[in-house]
Homo-oligomer: A and B are copies of this chain.
Amino acid sequence: MSQTDTVSRILDAAEVLFAERGFTETSLRTITTTAGVNLAAVNYHFGSKKELIQAVFERFLTPFTGALAAELDRRVAAGEALTVEGLLESLYRVGMGSLAEQGRDPQRFMRLLGLAYTQYQGHLRRFIVSRYGDSYRRFAGLLAQALPGLDPVTFYWRLYFMLGATIFTLSSYDAIEAILREDFGAPSSLPETLERLVPAAAAMLKVNSQ
């Protein structure tokens, strides 16, 4: 078994288990037996559990922010007008696309993002902000430009409202979808849900502005 095999097997198992149960609730022994590798391999390759957690986030956030930057570059270069709806669509489409093309589950990453915000892991928040803060600020800046005349403080609060609606809903997508399917017999696919989310989030951002 080559090194990359062991490393990525650990990352694959950790990604799934962390998203399912959280970080503290997932032991290294569960991860390594799921991955079919030795317990000590985690500390050997990653150093510690904290660094493994960061590596899991790095593996999906780096391609994601890269693809988002490319998408924004493309639209800016093409001289397209960046509307609120257009920016949200870009964000969600890149989120679905850049991960789906690796054959991995987009909503698993939403769960991980939600955990990054809610779990008690100071190192994770610091890691993400220092590594991906620029991507976040660029997107926020473009979104603010699409909402001229809006008070900055109000804009940022609404940005957090929007992030909350997105992360919260998509990270519990399976559970919510199951409830609605049982109550109304109408299944909602993830793309359909995002099509519902875009206008709703845009309306929240735009209310009483312009």
Contacts and interface: CB of A to CB of B under 8 A. Distances in A.
Interface of A: 20-22, 24-25, 114-115, 117-120, 152-154, 156-158, 160-169, 171-172, 176, 179-180, 183-184, 186, 188, 193, 196-197, 199-201, 203-208
B165 A25 contact: no
A90 to B, nearest CB: 19
A64 to B, nearest CB: 20
A208 B201 contact: no
Contacts of A179: 156
Number of copies: 2
A201 B161 contact: yes
B164 A169 contact: yes
Given A114-B118, A118-B118, 13 more contacts: A20-B120, A22-B24, A22-B119, A24-B25, A117-B172, A156-B180, A157-B197, A157-B200, A160-B168, A160-B172, A164-B167, A165-B168, A203-B204
Nearest to A152: B184
A120 to B, nearest CB: 4
Given A188-B153, A207-B200, A22 B120 contact: yes
18 contacts: A22-B24, A22-B120, A24-B24, A25-B119, A114-B118, A118-B172, A153-B188, A156-B179, A157-B196, A158-B200, A160-B165, A160-B169, A160-B172, A164-B169, A165-B165, A165-B204, A200-B205, A203-B207
A75 to B, nearest CB: 24
B184 A157 contact: no
Contacts of A22: 22, 24, 118-120
